[in-house]
Amino acid sequence: MTAQVTRKQMRTVFAETVIESLATDPRVVMLTADISSWFFWEVKKDFPDRVHNFGIREQAMIDIAGGFALAGQRPVVHTYAPFLVERPFEQIKIGLGHQDVGAVLVSVGASYDDPSWGRTHQAPGDVALLDTLPGWTVHVPGHEDEVAPLLSKAIAGDNRVYVRLSERANSEAVPVSEKFTVLRRGKAGVVLAVGPVLDQVLAATATADVTVLYASTIRPFDHAGLREAVAAAAPNVVLVDPYLRGTSAFEVTEALGDVPHRLRSFGTWRDREARVYGTPEEHDRLFGVDAESLADSIARFVG
């Protein structure tokens, strides 16, 4: 019999990586807002001045992170995506961005990982919101094995980084890269899968003559990689994002500004709100990003 491998959640890998960093890098400080704070109870005994829980005071947490950064520390800040990006957005804009200091923001919950909690715990617009600010690197790992290398590099740096974790993951990891990874090559178009939507994209395009690209780092956007892929295929580009539909459409336009092309984007709705909850898989079907819906839509788009 083949032994069954127990997979870790991305959030667990995140906590393990930060705990290791606390022990090896004296710059690192860990800031939580109740969510996941239990991961750090034990390590706080060793580093009481570098592990802090602020309760549901997310705006204060971001401003304090900015203060730590100004003092030469490397703050890692964590909670659910809507409480990390949307609620304290002004503090992100001013306390980090305008001060021109770095931090690593690590979210969970994604767009609708926990739909039973309702709209308060959903943040499909988080990456689009950060796109209004300069200087952010955005990682969207699609598998737990992609988390540690992305996060370790982020912690070792000094820039502004957003790591968008999910409770959902692809069946296999892809080696992390700041460039798009080519998983399949075809002639009818190019499909870009971001993070944890890769499995359904691969299933949807199993019989399609398309190039499939994968991104676990979506900002900066790999303009050169997209241009290269489009040059070898029909100029039909499909974006499949695990967040707000069309978030990277402007990046595609920048990359292909001198190349006539067609673009179709998939993700959560932009023009209306889902007011029912159910399961993440039901949300996939609602938004048309399940494998069956994507297969039909992509086939009709690329012809």
Give per-residue pLDDT as tens, 197-215: 999 999 999 999 999 999 9
> Rounded CA gap, 139 and 147, in Å?
9
Say yes or no to pLDDT of 292 above 80. yes
Task: Express as a percent the part of the chain with pLDDT over 90.
Answer: 95
Q: What's the mean pLDDT in 123-145?
A: 98
Answer whether 13's CB lies under 8 Å from 39's CB.
no
**Tens-place pLDDT, residues 42-88:** 999 999 999 999 999 999 999 999 999 999 999 999 999 999 999 99
Q: What's the mean pLDDT in 276-297?
A: 95
Establish whether the linkage from the previous residue to 141 is cis, with ω within 30° of 0.
Answer: no
Q: Per CATH, the architecture of 181-302 is what?
A: 3-Layer(aba) Sandwich (3.40)
Note the pTM of the prediction, 2 decimals: 0.97
The pLDDT of residue 1: 54
The residues spanned by each domain of the chain are 10-164, 181-302
Query: pLDDT band at residue 2, thresholds of 50, 70 and 90?
Result: low
Residue 273: strand, helix, or coil: coil
State the Cα angle at 122 between 17 and 15, rounded to 5°: 10
Q: What share of the chain is helix, strand, coil (3-state, %, to 5)?
A: 40, 20, 40
Residue type, 231: A
The pLDDT of residue 90: 98
Query: In which residue are the tokens 């943040």 written?
Result: 123
Q: What's the mean pLDDT in 242-248?
A: 98
Domains 10-164 and 181-302 share a fold: yes
Question: Among 176, 170, 162, 178, which residue's Cα sits nearest to residue 196?
Answer: 170
Residue 77: strand, helix, or coil: strand
**Tens-place pLDDT, residues 213-223:** 999 999 999 99
Q: What's the mean pLDDT in 90-94?
A: 98
> Rounded CA gap, 17 and 192, in Å?
28
The CATH code belonging to domain 10-164 is 3.40.50.970
What's the whole-number average pLDDT of the chain? 96
